[in-house]
Structure 1
Amino acid sequence: MGFSLTRSLPNLISLARLVLVPAIISMISAQRWKEASVVFVVAGVSDALDGWIARSFNLRSELGAYLDPLADKALIVSIYVTLAIVGVLPATIAIIVVARDAMIVGAFMISWFLDKPVEVRPLLISKLNTLVQLTCAALVLGAKAFDVATGAWLGPLIYLVAALSLASLGAYFNGWIRHMSV
């Protein structure tokens, strides 16, 4: 089966999102907030777009099942770590976001090494978590880009990101523990 641009479109969009990650990180590091904000929104929209195209036109693929979440995680983890490094977000939230993803990937790898692979399937809580994480990052970048005070909304939003990240981790671990017969 050869390469088909149409069949590969969702995967190409995911790859483009991966390519945007270093650009966004570079812009944040240089405090080019408006550019970082615009490119981040483009990356976020690409996440919705590739999924919609794959579902609507039955273009799902095994590669896409891995590539899309990899692009999401690269974007989210990189953004949270970079925003913490430049002092815009507390390090604690970056640690929670990174630790959640590292633990889930670690569990999947252990399953694979033990020849009991877990099906890659996002949970509803995980989709909500990703949406809130992306929204928080977009709002923070937008606030920096347009010099808007984060004031009263940032604290509760960070707590929501932390709570959803931990709830999502718990849901994945619960399924993983049952799958592994621990």
Structure 2
Amino acid sequence: MNLANRITLARIFLVPIIMFFLLVRFDWGQFTFADVTLTYSEILATLIFILAASTDGLDGYIARKRNMVTNLGKFLDPLADKLLITAALISLVELGSVAAWMAILIISREFAVTGLRLVAAADGQVIAASNMGKLKTIIQIVAICAVMLNNFPFGLINIPFDSFAMWIAVLITMISGVDYFIKNKNVIQFKTSVHK
């Protein structure tokens, strides 16, 4: 297994660790500044999430630069991305930090685009990540980090950045999903043939 795939696998293995520190409450104390309170578990979960998210572009870059692109990597990379975002969102819904409908919309879009890619692959086509899709991922990561950190440091100046960022993440996620389907409508068009 090459280096790029090992990095992707490491991202997958970090997913349950993030969920563990988010959902299991340890009595390690907490950090309080003004009106913002964070447990050390939340801080640790956020740092691990950031570490995992930062490897997203790294594995692809290494695979392309060192000519290590493999079918396993093509399968694992998008799987790792979706597992990371989905696990974080479901954990935050469990904690009451994110509305369930927001998580459902984001996760549904991910399933829909994955399905579109599978249909295209069956027809020998590859749907590459679009710029809108990359922007969507960045905004999702920022929004999730803001929620995991209980809006720190923006809560200190009474700016609901976490709520705003999550709304933007949902909006951009939906727009990018529609964008994928419009740009690749040929993949889902029914093809008819006349038999003579």
Which bin holds the TM-score, normalised by the shorter protein? Answer: 0.7 to 0.9
Q: Which has the larger radius of gyration?
A: 2
Amino acid at match of 1:43: A
Match of 1:133 among 112, 126, 140: 140
Secondary structure of 1:143's aligned partner: coil
Match of 1:24 among 14, 18, 22: 18
The CA distance in 2 between the partners of 1:169 and 1:153, in whole Å, is 24
Does the 8 Å contact 1:20/1:39 carry over to 2?
A: yes
The CA distance in 1 between the partners of 2:134 and 2:188, in whole Å, is 23
Does the 8 Å contact 1:116/1:180 carry over to 2?
A: no
Deviation at 1:44, TM superposition (A): 1.2
Deviation at 1:28, TM superposition (A): 0.8
Deviation at 1:58, TM superposition (A): 3.0
Deviation at 1:9, TM superposition (A): 0.6
Structure 2 unaligned runs (5+)?
26-40, 191-196
More helix by share: 1
Match of 1:122 among 122, 129, 141: 129
Does the 8 Å contact 2:116/2:187 carry over to 1?
A: no
Deviation at 1:47, TM superposition (A): 1.3
Match of 1:84 among 85, 93, 102: 93
Number of aligned residue pairs: give it. 173
Structure 1 unaligned runs (5+)?
none
Amino acid at match of 1:131: I
The CA distance in 2 between the partners of 1:111 and 1:173, in whole Å, is 11
The CA distance in 1 between the partners of 2:118 and 2:77, in whole Å, is 18
Deviation at 1:52, TM superposition (A): 2.5
Does the 8 Å contact 2:150/2:162 carry over to 1?
A: no
Amino acid at match of 1:89: V
The answer to whether residue 151 in structure 2 is matched with residue 152 in structure 1 is no
1:61 aligned partner: 70
Q: What TM-score does the superposition give when structure 1 sets the normalisation length? A: 0.84
Amino acid at match of 2:6: L
The CA distance in 2 between the partners of 1:147 and 1:132, in whole Å, is 17
Root-mean-square deviation (Å): 2.2
Does the 8 Å contact 1:65/1:120 carry over to 2?
A: no
Which stretch shows the higher mean deviation, 52-61 or 70-79?
52-61
Which stretch shows the higher mean deviation, 76-85 or 49-58?
49-58
Which stretch shows the higher mean deviation, 58-67 or 96-105?
58-67
The CA distance in 2 between the partners of 1:116 and 1:153, in whole Å, is 43
The CA distance in 1 between the partners of 2:168 and 2:73, in whole Å, is 29
The answer to whether residue 176 in structure 2 is matched with residue 168 in structure 1 is yes
Deviation at 1:37, TM superposition (A): 1.1
The CA distance in 1 between the partners of 2:173 and 2:23, in whole Å, is 25
The CA distance in 1 between the partners of 2:95 and 2:123, in whole Å, is 41
The CA distance in 2 between the partners of 1:168 and 1:118, in whole Å, is 19
More strand by share: 2
Q: Could you tell me the percent identity over the aligned residues?
A: 28
2:188 aligned partner: 180
Deviation at 1:140, TM superposition (A): 2.0
